[in-house]
Each structure stands twice: as structure tokens, then as C-alpha cells.
């Protein structure tokens, strides 16, 4: 076979070889996937806890709440009152407390349906990791971020509770705090949402790049009919 044809022929590595082996058969790939998922999940949950704790466990909280209710009406709900607790962190970016009872962009959905949909996402992500090539480290990282983002928001929908004095606790809603409204992005989001977007973007780039037709180099001197 000419050298040019060897270069352009597809990879025919047998399944047992490192190139063709699925990720589930590699202890290193599995451990890396689990560790990255756990680290990303911990980062999401810890960031939510620290931000909400720092803004709500404030010695001046009672006085600030009284001022908010006096200025905006005593009939404010807990979710409405939360938006008055914020802190600038960078030009155009603030930490603003918010909760989301629905799914992406605040779209409503019953909690049971969200749990079922998240379980389906987890199963699909784990399946794609298991059957992916052992050397596709970028794909594994993207899948780990998607898994961590889905689990982070699911945790909130199952267990999260936000308390403020004088209000009923806000339960089973996703905690959001990254506010880029100064950069003309209207939705408040969290670290789990960032993981989801980054993971999906990496997968999209990988699939688009893999879908491009390869250019085959023909031997010099070969003539077309």
C-alpha cells in the first residue's frame, strides 16, 4: 500500500488495543472521570453555600430586610426580597441572590419530572463515557462537567433550603447568584449552569471537528478519469 494511502486510511485498531479500548475498561479513565465529576460538583455546591451564607448570615440582615420591606412593600415574597441582596465582584458582574423553581431560563416544570429528566441525563452521560475511546480525554472532561452540573442542580431541587427571618423558607429551588445583567445578560445563574454550558460546548466542538471530511492525499502522478 502506498504511504499516502496508509496515512489516509481509517484507524482499524482492534478493540483490545489502547486506541480502540472503551473508557470503561481503563481504571485511569474511570478514576479521572469520577474525580473530575466530584470536584466540579463540590465546587458548585460549595459556591452556592458560601455566597448565600455570606449575604444572608449578616449581623445587619434584620435591618436591611426592614429597609427593603419599608421601601418596596410588606407584601414582598421571599424570592422577591432575595434580589435586594447582592454584591459587586467585577465590572458588570454581581453576586445577586436568586432561586429558580423551574428549569433553564426559569421555565416551569414539576419537580418529579425534573428528577426523572436528570436521571435520564445521568444515564446517557455515563453511557457515552463508558463507550467512548479511552484516549478522548477532552470528551471525558466535558461529560464529567455535564454530569456535575446536572447533579448540582438536582441536589438543590431535592434538598436546598434558603431561610430569611420573617419569611417562609424557600425549599426545593435551584440557588443562583452569578448576575451579569451589567453585561446585558438578563438571567442569574450558578456554577452548575457554567459546567453544563462548557461541557456541551466542548462536545459540540468535538463532534463538529470529527464530522469534517478528511482530505485524502493522492499519489503524485495519478490521473483522474
Residue 99 · residue 174 · CB < 8 Å: yes
Torsion of CA 73, 160, 48, 71, to 10 degrees: 0
User: What pairing do the DSSP bridges indicate for beta strands 174-179 and 188-189?
Assistant: antiparallel
Other Cβ atoms closer than 10 A to 140: 23
DSSP 8-class letter at 22: B
Strand partners, 162: 170
What grid cell was written down for 59? 449581623
Is residue 176 annotated as part of the catalytic site, yes or no?
yes
Which of the following is catalytic: 44, 156, 179, 193? 193
Which of the following is catalytic: 44, 156, 176, 179? 176
CA 109, 169, 64, 152 torsion: positive or negative? negative
Report the alpha-carbon distance of residue 205 to residue 198 in Å, rounded. Answer: 11
Catalytic residues: 176, 193
Amino acid at each position: 500500500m502506498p504511504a499516502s494511502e496508509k496515512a489516509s486510511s481509517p484507524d482499524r485498531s482492534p478493540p483490545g488495543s489502547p486506541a480502540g479500548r472503551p473508557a470503561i475498561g481503563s481504571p485511569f479513565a474511570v478514576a479521572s472521570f469520577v474525580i473530575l465529576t466530584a470536584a466540579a460538583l463540590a465546587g458548585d455546591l460549595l459556591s452556592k453555600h458560601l455566597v448565600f451564607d455570606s449575604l444572608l448570615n449578616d449581623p445587619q440582615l434584620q435591618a436591611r430586610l426592614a429597609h427593603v420591606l419599608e421601601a418596596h412593600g410588606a407584601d414582598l415574597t421571599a424570592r422577591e426580597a432575595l434580589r435586594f441582596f447582592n454584591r459587586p465582584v467585577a465590572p458588570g458582574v454581581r453576586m445577586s441572590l436568586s432561586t429558580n423553581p423551574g428549569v433553564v431560563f426559569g421555565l416551569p416544570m414539576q419537580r418529579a419530572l425534573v428528577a426523572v429528566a436528570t436521571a435520564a441525563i445521568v444515564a446517557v452521560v455515563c453511557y457515552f463515557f463508558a463507550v467512548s475511546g479511552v484516549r478522548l480525554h477532552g470528551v471525558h472532561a466535558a461529560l464529567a462537567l455535564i454530569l456535575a452540573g446536572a447533579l448540582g442542580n438536582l441536589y438543590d431541587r431535592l434538598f436546598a433550603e434558603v431561610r430569611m427571618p420573617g419569611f417562609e423558607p424557600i425549599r426545593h429551588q435551584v440557588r443562583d447568584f452569578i448576575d451579569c445583567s451589567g453585561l446585558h445578560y438578563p438571567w442569574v445563574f450558578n456554577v452548575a449552569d457554567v459546567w453544563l454550558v462548557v461541557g456541551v460546548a466542548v462536545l459540540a466542538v468535538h463532534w463538529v471537528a470529527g464530522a469534517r471530511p478528511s482530505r485524502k492525499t493522492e499519489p503524485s502522478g495519478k490521473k483522474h478519469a
